[in-house]
Structures are given as structure tokens and as C-alpha cells.
């Protein structure tokens, strides 16, 4: 298993990077293709020290592609084909959203935070007043080769109510609004498409009020909000609000869950 980091480059053990940064790296499944690229499955990785080429973002055991041109193949230098993308979604309390998307295969990282407001680096207390314009949201880093933005949206629109304006259950206020903050024109198109499809199929009886806005800035929430469900599974809110959402996720999207559960 990987121990919490994203490899941006790898060099054999007799060269500088692994000697300084990695204690145990196992590469399996070497399959060169016609373009001269080689795919590996990183089975084991342990960090020894920090290095600018390694970012503490990666969790899980997804497949990663290392590019090896004929020129550097003999040198054993491989660079990862970093294809991760970002989605920013708001739909009620970020504790719920984080717990849900953290379950999905292909999701690299989920961070709870604030977006869509007027001031920089707001605190939880400021956002709770409803005066900053921010929504509680999650910033999702994902591998589109494993899970698509469309699939993330399908989960999103199935695990919160997109028809209640500025409200999710007992959580009321503009900070709990339903919104998608798109990062690219393609994301905007996909959000608008799925909202239209949901309207036609009548999955939701009421009109969907999810905002579709361009992404501007995201501010991570305080540390005690991060991985809240994982740290506090017995807390009343987790039991009463989050657990039913996770049960629905497991029932409807079982094939998309991490193999480790």
C-alpha cells in the first residue's frame, strides 16, 4: 500500500532521489507500449524525508503511469503522467460530502473548506454567520482515468437534495447551498447537462436549484473539520445524518467504492 504521497518522479535506488527520499519502492507490472511509455503499479512506498518532487496528496493504491522515452529508458528515469483533476462541490455540511467522496475509487484527496465568498481565509465562525457569501464545500482531487467528473456528479446529485434552496435537512443558511464550482468549460457543460437530464427524468419532483458558478478560490477549513467522520464516527451528527447517506452510497454505487471499503 502507498503511505500517503504522490510520486512525481522515480529513479533507481542507485541514484539520488530514492536514496534520499524512499526506503522501499516496489514496481510491478512493467508493460512498455508502442509509444515508448511504460506503466507500473506501485505496490509499496515509504517516505524517508520530504522532497520537492514528492507531494503528500496521494492515498490508496491506484495505477499510475510513468513515461519513459527511449532516450532515458536505459538511465531508468521515469516521470509520472500526472492526470489528476479537481472538482469543487457544495451541498450542505462538508462533513457529509467529505465522508461520501472519500469512499470512492479514484478519488485521491478530499478537503473540506469554504468557497464562493467575498473575503479571503474566512473562519468557520465567520462563514456560519452567512455574511461572507461562502459555501461549505469539498475540493476533490481525482484520477479521471479511474473515476470521471460525470461519475462524481452522479454521486453528488444522489446523496444530497439539490432542490432545497440554502438548506440541507436541518442545516439552514446560504453556507449550505447546493453548488458546483466548475474549473473548466468542460466541467460547466457536464454540470448543465446532468441537471437538464435530471429535470427531464423527474428524479427530483421539485426544480433543481444547484448553482453553477466558475471556481475562484478555495480555503481549507480548520484542521478539526478535516476527516471529521473518520475521526468521530460515534458522534450524534455522524450517526443520524452521515450514516444514512453512506448507506445510500453503498447501495447505489457499490461498484465505485474503494476495494478496501
Instruction: Assess contact for 11 and 17: CB atoms under 8 A.
Output: yes
Instruction: Assess contact for 123 and 78: CB atoms under 8 A.
Output: no
Angle at CA 65, nearest 5°, toward 52 and 30?
Answer: 120
Catalytic residues, by residue number, are: 93
C-alpha 44/C-alpha 3 separation (Å) is 8
C-alpha 102/C-alpha 108 separation (Å) is 8
> In terms of Cα–Cα distance, which of 151, 67, 44 is closest to 105?
151
Instruction: Assess contact for 53 and 82: CB atoms under 8 A.
Output: no
Q: What is the dihedral of CA 200, 202, 208, 214, to 10 degrees?
A: -40
Amino acid at each position: 500500500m502507498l503511505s500517503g504521497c504522490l510520486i512525481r518522479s522515480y529513479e533507481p535506488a542507485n541514484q539520488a532521489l530514492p536514496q534520499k527520499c524512499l526506503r522501499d519502492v516496489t514496481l510491478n507490472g512493467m508493460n512498455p507500449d508502442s509509444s515508448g511509455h511504460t506503466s507500473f503499479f506501485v505496490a509499496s512506498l515509504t517516505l524517508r524525508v520530504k522532497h520537492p518532487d514528492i507531494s503528500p496528496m496521494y492515498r490508496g493504491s491506484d495505477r499510475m503511469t510513468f513515461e519513459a522515452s527511449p532516450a532515458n529508458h536505459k538511465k531508468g528515469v521515469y516521470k509520472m503522467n500526472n492526470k489528476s483533476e479537481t472538482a469543487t462541490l457544495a451541498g450542505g455540511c462538508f462533513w457529509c460530502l467529505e465522508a461520501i467522496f472519500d469512499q470512492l475509487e479514484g478519488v485521491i484527496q478530499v478537503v473540506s473548506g469554504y468557497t464562493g465568498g467575498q473575503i479571503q481565509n474566512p473562519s468557520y465562525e465567520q462563514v456560519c454567520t452567512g455574511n461572507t457569501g461562502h459555501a461549505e464545500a469539498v475540493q476533490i482531487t481525482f484520477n479521471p482515468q479511474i473515476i470521471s467528473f460525470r461519475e462524481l456528479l452522479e454521486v453528488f446529485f444522489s446523496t444530497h437534495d439539490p432542490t432545497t434552496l440554502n438548506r440541507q435537512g436541518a442545516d439552514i443558511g446560504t453556507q449550505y447551498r447546493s453548488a458546483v464550482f466548475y474549473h473548466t468549460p468542460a466541467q460547466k457543460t457536464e454540470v448543465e447537462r446532468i441537471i437538464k437530464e435530471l429535470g427531464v427524468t423527474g428524479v427530483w419532483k421539485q426544480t433543481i436549484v444547484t448553482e453553477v458558478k466558475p471556481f475562484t478560490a478555495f480555503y481549507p477549513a480548520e484542521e478539526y473539520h478535516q476527516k471529521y467522520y473518520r475521526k468521530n464516527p460515534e458522534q450524534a451528527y455522524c450517526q443520524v445524518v452521515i450514516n444514512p447517506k453512506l448507506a445510500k452510497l453503498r447501495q447505489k454505487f457499490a461498484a465505485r467504492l474503494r476495494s478496501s471499503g
